[in-house]
Amino acid sequence: MIEMIKVSRTYAPNIKALSDISFSIETGEMFFLIGRSGAGKTTLLKLICNMETPSNGLIEVAGYNINTLRGKNLAHLRQKIGVAYQDFKLLSNRTVAENIAIAMEVSYKNPRAIRHRVRDLLEQLQLTDKYDTITSELSRGEQQRVALARSVANSPRLILVDEPTGNLDASTTERVMSLLTRSNKAGATIVIATHDASIYQQGTHRIMELRDGNIHSLTRGGR
Amino acid sequence: MNFWFAVFRQAGRNLRQTWTSQFMTFLTVSLSVLIFAFFYLIYTNMLGAGDRLSDDLRLIVYLEDEPGPQMQQQLRRKIENFDRVKEIRFISQEEAYERFAEQLGEDSDVLADMPKNFLPASIEIVPLKSLRGYNQIKLFSEYLANLPGTEKVQYGQEWVERFYYFTRLLTIVVLLSGTLLILTATFMVAYTIRLTIMGRQDELELLKLVGATNSYIRTPFLIEGILQGFMGSIIGLLALYGLFQWISAHFAGPGLLNVFHFSFFSPVVIFLIILSSICLCSLGSYTSIRKFLRL
């Protein structure tokens, strides 16, 4: 699903966020990116969804060189990638339902199906009563769950999640992880950038640790 | 859900969220259309009135002496040498006397002591429609004044001249007001769309990230421009129609308006004004999209 070959990302004036990163993620895999703050996790996710372009190297997603895609082709690929950003990127003047629905509206889903899907996701994330709440009125933890719901709403083939449990208590973390696991079992490839050891240590998924923009280790969890 | 449903809903959201600036733009477009259409309506009616009045245009050539048949032939030839005319009529001194008496009606007895040849003979010339421009008539009258035996040429010079300059002034007013108002409306729409784009950067970025196509993002803004143009021109024209009806109702009777037979725009002109307004507002919208919506 994802192929990265010698990918580097340098910010001006000369700050190396990532250097010579090469790895691949199989379709249907759940993959964890770990590392300290500033290790390059968020940059890596941004490169995968083409929010940023690499300074060097090749990134292929679903067989496409994502940095050469433009216009409709890029838009269609992005519809198949769900992203839960660390800063949530919620529209603060819109309701929870509208924020989640936006991911499905761009691919012209049926309005009734959209409403049904939104209710279903909110129920899974214990946010049923927040359907019509303006997102700026939510707590950080609730906003985080809305961002996550939006990332999985369109049933994407690839889900990128940046710190999904940072503001959540243990039981909500469990709900979030079971939602992601369900999506994974339904065939979605999932990449999770996290600090939270509790969500990756028990599984047998692959874990890649970044340190100062380099791959420090690539192991399998539960060992 | 299809593309058009999605973009119309998005346009509706935009209008709802920025309704104050949208309303101001809508008012500007309406006023622009109203002012321009008002002058244009006067202009077209003046042209129509000028056209109707020119049907009655006659050049009268007063002659020093009554021309004989041979002289009449000669004069006719010379007149037609300048250009073809619709009609040439020779009016003898006696005929002129009878006409004058007829015009005096009951007071015609004042002519009792006057000889029947005290009025000069004349030639009444009705020019063709193609020869009714102000400059052409002026040239023609100068030509006629130089014909042998001509004493004076009359065609209501002063009136024709005034009407000509008035319609010319009106043409300038229409062109100037049209240009200025077109620019105002286009800039206002462009500015409103720009404000909307600036105020919704976060949403536009998010739309891009979740996979909205460029046309999905751009089309709602274009629809806003089209709606502004359509609604603005409709309201502007309705206001003008109301004004027209009011003027017709209050100034009806044997006044100026009756002389001129004022009429409203034809459906074709109304359609063209609405279409122009839509095109201009879309242009304003498109310019802002190209300039400020970087996808």
A167 pLDDT higher than 60? yes
- pLDDT on residue A158: 93
> Are the CB atoms for B182 and B151 separated by under 8 Å?
no
- Structure token digits, residue B219: 């089309």
- The total number of structural domains in chain B stands at 2
CATH number of the domain within which A213 lies: 3.40.50.300
Tell me the per-residue pLDDT of B265-286, one tens digit each, with 9 for 90 and over: 999 999 999 999 899 888 888 8
pLDDT at B164: 79
Question: What percent of chain B is predicted at pLDDT more than 90?
Answer: 9
Question: Which chain B residues are within 8 Å of A108, Cβ to Cβ?
Answer: 1-3, 5-6
| Domains in chain A, number | 1
Mean pLDDT of A186-191: 92
Mean pLDDT of B54-58: 76
Domain end (from B154, B180, B197): B154
* Antiparallel, parallel or unpaired: β A189-194 and A158-162: parallel
Average pLDDT, chain B: 83
Residue B283 sits in which domain range? 3-53+161-292
B261-to-B36, B162, B244 alpha-carbon distances in Å: 21, 19, 12
- Distance, in Å, from the CA atom of B215 to the CA atom of B227, rounded to the nearest integer, reads 17
To the nearest whole percent, how much of chain A has pLDDT over 90?
Answer: 34
| End residue of a domain, out of B119, B154, B189 | B154
DSSP state of A197: G
Structure tokens at B242: 């109301």
pTM over 0.80: no
User: Does the CB of A195 have a partner CB in chain B at under 8 Å?
Assistant: no
Same domain membership, residue B65 and residue B44: no
Q: Is A197 on the interface with B (CB under 8 A)?
A: no
The angle formed by the CA atoms of residues A163, A168 and A171, to the nearest 5 degrees, is: 120
CATH assignment of the domain containing B118: 3.30.70.3040
Interface confidence (ipTM) of the complex:
0.85
Q: How many CA atoms lie within 13 A of B46 on its CB side?
A: 18
Nearest CA in chain A to B216: A106
Identify which has the larger pLDDT, B169 or B237.
B237
Question: pLDDT of B115-151, one tens digit each?
Answer: 877 888 899 888 877 666 778 888 888 888 888 888 8
DSSP code per residue over A79-127: HTEEEE-TT----TTSBHHHHHHHHHHTTT--HHHHHHHHHHHHHHTT-
The CA–CA distances, whole Å, from B275 to B7, B23, B38, B89, B220 equal 22, 20, 17, 49, 19
* pLDDT above 70 as % of chain B: 95
CB contact set of A129 (below 8 Å; sequence gap of 6+): none
A131 assigned to some structural domain = no
**pLDDT value for B233:** 93
Q: Which domain covers residue A193, as residue numbers?
A: 2-89+156-220
Average pLDDT over residues A197-208: 84
CB-nearest partner of B211 from A78, A93, A114: A78
Judged against a pLDDT cut of 70, whether residue B219 lies above it is answered with yes
Interface test with B, best of A80, A105, A148, A155 (most B CBs within 10 A): A105
The answer to whether the CB atoms of A89 and B203 lie below 8 A apart is: no
Is residue A47 within 8 A of residue B184, CB to CB? The reply is: no
One-letter amino acid at A108 equals Y
- Chain-chain contact of A75 with B211 (C-beta, under 8 angstroms): yes
Given a cut of 60, is residue B15 above it in pLDDT? yes
| Contact indicator for B184, B27 with CB cutoff of 8 Å | no
**A66 belongs to a structural domain:** yes
